């Protein structure tokens, strides 16, 4: 399957500290991907590298097979909504739409106008006078009017109330379903992401912890509950991602490489939220060198 975004050992450094390190991932076309991680994990850095605002210090990033840095042809295919939806606040939505039409080749003025009308937003009011949720909707309408093949959104719903968040994500999903745009959306609101995303990238401390299709990841992980566990291998378990113990009992979140049939263990399915939290837990190791492994 074609990949819209590919990174190979991508790194970005500020001084001596790596904001993103050894980041290798693929985002296939048509996916709606969640980019998840705590503050400072490197999410904005990855998005800024993907949109060509930053130049890598190590490795490579490719969007539609090309480096996005200083690449205007690629930039015309990417829509980007930065954190806090920074619109020119004295401009009205109508003026921003006109500006977009002058700056972009494939601009769809009707799409932007229709979206604002559907939302009941006046195109003639300065956007600085709109609520945070309304401004986010205007920013999304403008990003979609560019008709991007890849849409990058940096914490678009962080400052919105739950109702505005839901409306924003519904609007996003509606247009993505119509256009087939690939989306990469950073957020720390797991419940929102679970509803809208079918692909996930988990970052922690500048490194990728987990990446893949939600269905595959949920299928390949299980929670095991059983007697207190040391480090003996368990048939069907490729790696223990997270373990917690009481005196007599262990609860493990594991990556599997086959069915776990040992009757000592109660086996439960996991949710995306369980998985993300396990990979984000303190001390979680990158997926490729997980805590310990058992040969298949």
- Positions touching ligand ADP (CB under 6 A) are 14, 19, 37, 39-45
Task: Assign residue 147 a region (left: φ > 0; alpha: ψ between -120 and 50; beta: otherwise).
Answer: left
Q: How far apart, in whole angstroms, are the C-alpha atoms of residue 142 and residue 188?
A: 24
Query: Which residue's Cβ lies closest to ligand ADP?
Result: 19
Output the six-digit token pair for 294: 């058992």
From 226, 195, 218, 198, select the one nearest 279 (Cα to Cα).
218
Q: How far is the CB of 57 from ligand ADP (least distance, A)?
A: 12
Give 201 or 260: the residue with its C-beta nearer to ligand ADP. 201
Give 14 or 102: the residue with its C-beta nearer to ligand ADP. 14
Q: How far is the CB of 42 from ligand ADP (least distance, A)?
A: 4
- For residues 166-176, one letter each, b for 16 or more C-beta atoms within 10 angstroms of the residue's C-beta and e for the rest, the string is ebbbebbeebb
Q: How far is the CB of 273 from ligand ADP (least distance, A)?
A: 18
Query: Within the chain, where are the H helices?
Result: 43-50, 72-75, 93-103, 109-118, 132-145, 162-179, 190-196, 214-219, 272-280
Task: Assign residue 204 a region (left: φ > 0; alpha: ψ between -120 and 50; beta: otherwise).
Answer: beta
The distance from CA 91 to its chain's CA centroid, rounded to whole angstroms, is: 30
Give 37 or 236: the residue with its C-beta nearer to ligand ADP. 37
Q: How far is the CB of 20 from ligand ADP (least distance, A)?
A: 7
What three-state secondary structure class fits 261?
coil
Q: How far is the CB of 62 from ligand ADP (least distance, A)?
A: 19
Output the six-digit token pair for 155: 């914490």
Share in percent of the chain as helix, strand, coil (round to 5): 30, 30, 35
Q: How far apart, in whole angstroms, are the C-alpha atoms of residue 276 and residue 208?
A: 12
Give 7 or 256: the residue with its C-beta nearer to ligand ADP. 7
């Amino acid at each position: 399957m074609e990949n819209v975004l590919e990174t190979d050992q991508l790194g970005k450094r500020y001084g001596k500290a790596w904001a993103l390190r050894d980041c290798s991932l693929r985002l296939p076309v048509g996916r709606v991907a969640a980019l998840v991680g705590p503050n400072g994990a490197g999410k904005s850095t990855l998005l800024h590298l993907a949109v060509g605002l930053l130049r890598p210090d190590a490795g490579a990033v490719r969007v539609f097979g090309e480096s996005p840095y200083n690449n205007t042809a690629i930039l015309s295919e990417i829509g980007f909504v930065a954190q806090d939806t920074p619109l020119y606040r004295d401009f009205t939505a109508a003026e921003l739409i006109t500006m977009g039409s002058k700056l972009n080749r494939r601009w769809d003025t009707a799409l932007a106008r229709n979206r604002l009308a559907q939302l009941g937003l006046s195109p003639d009011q300065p956007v600085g006078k709109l609520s945070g949720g309304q401004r986010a909707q205007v920013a999304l309408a403008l990003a979609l009017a560019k008709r991007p093949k890849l849409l990058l959104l940096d914490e678009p719903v962080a400052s919105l109330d739950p109702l505005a968040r839901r409306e924003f994500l519904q609007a996003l999903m509606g247009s993505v379903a119509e256009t087939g745009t690939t989306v990469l959306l950073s957020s720390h609101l797991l419940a929102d992401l679970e509803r809208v995303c079918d692909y996930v990238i988990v970052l922690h401390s500048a490194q990728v912890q987990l990446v893949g299709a939600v269905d595959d990841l949920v299928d390949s992980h299980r929670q095991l509950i059983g007697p207190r566990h040391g480090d003996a291998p368990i048939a069907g378990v490729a790696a223990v991602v997270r373990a917690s113990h009481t005196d007599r009992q262990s609860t493990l979140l594991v990556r599997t490489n086959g069915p776990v049939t040992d009757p000592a263990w109660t086996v439960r399915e996991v949710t995306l939220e369980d998985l993300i939290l396990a990979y984000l837990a303190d001390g979680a190791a990158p997926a490729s060198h997980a805590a310990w492994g058992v040969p298949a």
